[in-house]
Copies of this chain bind each other. A is one copy, B any other.
Amino acid sequence: MIKVGILGRRPARSICIPAWMQAVWRSARDWIVGIFAPATRAVAHPLQQRFEYEIAPRSLRQDDSRTLGTHLLVELYGCNGRTLERVAYVEKALVQAAHESNAHIVSHFFHEFEPYGVSGVVVIEESHYTIHTWPEHRYAAIDLFFCSETVDAERALEVLRRAFEPEHIDVMLIRRGVLDKTPG
């Protein structure tokens, strides 16, 4: 037995359904969602293929009234591979992104791997920025996690775009620490 909310806007009700019906339900749901909401479907898909977050500048700011933090998962595809190889260059870019987006740096640490690849974290008072690069795939995974309305993530994205020259950027925005759920 599992709990299933029949309609999205109503409180969930408990019903008893066998496994084969659950499978049929999931297939039908995925098919319908695939037609009506390609972007949303892609998020649910384990590979998030073709997902591209629609960026509206206002949505990139943290909203303190409802959540504790805002987390941007940034995928840079088709970068200039040489920019991803050198730890000094990557460090400079991420630190600059933190400065220019009004984040307050507490500490930062960067590491270059053999034969290639850089990992780096910038701990900020507002949470963290991180980067991991795969020069051989011309790809970088960047996280911008912040808990203050003063952080201008749009500006950080612009700095990173200029530094690594990606052909394509995917951004996923996740709100962290939903206040309705915190008992405190």
- The chain A residues found within 8 Å of chain B, CB to CB, are 5, 7-9, 29-30, 32-41, 43-44, 46-50, 59, 63, 66-69, 71, 73, 75, 77-78, 81, 106-107, 109, 111, 113, 119, 121, 123, 125, 127-128, 130, 132, 134, 136-139, 141, 143, 145, 147, 167-168, 172-184
Contacts and interface: CB of A to CB of B under 8 A. Distances in A.
26 contacts: A9-B34, A9-B35, A29-B36, A32-B37, A40-B43, A46-B63, A46-B175, A49-B180, A73-B174, A77-B183, A78-B182, A81-B184, A109-B121, A111-B123, A119-B123, A119-B128, A121-B128, A130-B145, A134-B182, A134-B184, A137-B182, A138-B184, A141-B145, A141-B177, A143-B143, A143-B145
A35 B8 CA distance: 5
A149 to B, nearest CB: 15
